[in-house]
Amino acid sequence: MKKAVFVLVISFLALGVFAQNKDTDAIKAVLKQYNNAIEKLEVKGAEKLFTADSRIYESGASEGSYSHYLEHHLTPELKEFKSFRFSDYTGEVQVAGNYAFASETYNYTIVLVKDNSEIKRKGVATSVLK
């Protein structure tokens, strides 16, 4: 009887880990979709990845909702870029109930349209997903 209970407990724990791994993989897929849109310099459709009450913070300042950020910051900025590439990307996701907390670190290289100059930087992003 003790073996049956122990196996049952292990099975439930394994199912919980499996479910969390599926959630983690789904969250990573959402983050990848956004990064792909940035690299393509085409963020049309990326708004589906954000809630209407989302808030964007960049360089220590609030950019408002994603739609505001898109209209007043990101879209004009992307027009100045010939290319944008991420490298050395790492992402970690922690799922807690209905929320996920993600942190990403990466290097990125931007090539400007006006003179083909390169800008190389390190970046970090944190996201809360529901």
CA–CA gap between residue 83 and residue 97 (Å, rounded): 37
Q: Which class for 79: exposed (0-12), middle (13-18), buried (19 or more C-beta within 10 A)?
A: exposed
pLDDT digits (tens, 9 = 90+) for 68-118: 999 999 999 999 999 999 999 999 999 999 999 999 999 999 999 999 999
Fold of 2-129: Nuclear Transport Factor 2; Chain: A, (3.10.450)
Structural domain spans, the chain: 2-129
Residue 89 φ/ψ, nearest 5 degrees: -80, 135
Most confident of 2-6, 48-52, 116-120, 126-130: 116-120
pLDDT at 22: 85
